[in-house]
Amino acid sequence: PSLLHIEELCDSIVRSHRDTSQFRLEELQALRWKLFSREEIHAYQSKSVDEMWQHCAVRLTEAVQYVVEFAKRIPGFRGLGQNDQITLLKTGSMEVVLVRMSRCFNTENSTVFFDGKFASTELFKSLGCGDLMVAVFDFAHSMCALRLTELQMALFSSLVLINTDRPCLEDRGRVHRMRKDLEGCLSHMLRRDNQESLQHKLYQKVSVLQSLCSLHVEKLHWFSQLYPLTVHSVFPPLYKELFT
C-alpha cells in the first residue's frame, strides 16, 4: 500500500484504540498508587469462589465489549462476513484484553487495575486459579518490558484479531489482505521508530497469548463443573458465548 494509505490506516487504528480503551494511559498512571487496603483485600478474599468468579466475569466482559468496539472500527473489519467477524472476535477478543491489560499493570509492585484500584494476585485468591493469575501477571510484566507506545499496542492488537489462521474462516483471502496491510503498517512504524527488533518479540507473544487464553477457558470449564447454575444463570451472556 502507498505511504499515504499506511499513514491513514495507522491514524485510524490508534484513534480506534484510544476511543475504545476504557481508561486513558494518563488516568491509569494517576491511579497507579491507589492500592486496596488490607481490609478491602480481606473482603475480596472472603468472597465465595462463585461470587468472585461472577464479579471478575462481569469486569472482563466489560473489557471485551470495548475490544469488540475496537474491532468494528478496524478498516475492513465490517466488510468481512458476519460469521468471520464473529470467528475473529470469539478467538481473538480475550487475547486483545490481555494485551491491553498490560497498560493497567504496575510492574513496580506487580499490581493490576481492578475495580477502581490496583490489586496484586493475592486479591484474587478466592478464584481458586492461582496458576492463571501468575500467568496473567507474568504476561503483563513481559508486555510492559517491551514499553509499547499506544500506536504499537493498537497495531499489535489489530494483528492479534485479524488472524488468518483462525479455524472455520469462510473468506480467508479477505482476512489475509487486511492482515497484509496491518503488517505493512506495523513494520513501517517500527522502521520509522528504529525499533525493528520489536517485530519478532511481538510475534513471539502470540503463542503465549494463545496458551493464556486456553488456560482461562480450562479454568472456566473447571469452575462451570462446580457451579453450573452460576455460569448458566448469572454470568454475562457475551462471556458465555465467547468462552464456553
Ligand X SMILES: CCS(=O)(=O)c1ccc(CC(=O)Nc2nc(-c3ccccc3)c(C(=O)c3ccccc3CC(C)C)s2)cc1
Residues in contact with ligand X by CB under 6 A are: 21-23, 53, 56-57, 59-60, 63, 97, 100-101, 103-104, 112-114, 124, 127, 133, 136, 216
The distance of closest approach from Cβ of residue 206 to ligand X in the complex, given in angstroms and rounded to an integer, is: 17
The distance of closest approach from Cβ of residue 16 to ligand X in the complex, given in angstroms and rounded to an integer, is: 13
In terms of residues, how long is the chain?
244
Nearer to ligand X, 205 or 216 (CB): 216
In whole angstroms, what is the distance from residue 228 CA to residue 191 CA?
50
How far, in whole angstroms, is CA 44 from its chain's centroid? Answer: 23
Nearer to ligand X, 16 or 21 (CB): 21
The distance of closest approach from Cβ of residue 62 to ligand X in the complex, given in angstroms and rounded to an integer, is: 6
Alpha helices (H) in 102-236, listed in sequence order: 130-145, 150-161, 172-192, 197-226, 228-229
The distance of closest approach from Cβ of residue 21 to ligand X in the complex, given in angstroms and rounded to an integer, is: 4
Residue listed under C-alpha cell 499496542: 153
Nearer to ligand X, 6 or 57 (CB): 57
The distance of closest approach from Cβ of residue 105 to ligand X in the complex, given in angstroms and rounded to an integer, is: 8
What's the angle, vertex CA 204, arms to CA 202 and CA 208, rounded to 5?
110
Nearer to ligand X, 63 or 148 (CB): 63
Q: Contact 62/22 with Cβ under 8 angstroms?
A: yes
* CA-CA-CA-CA dihedral for 65, 93, 205, 59, to nearest 10: 40
Nearer to ligand X, 136 or 154 (CB): 136
SS3 99: helix
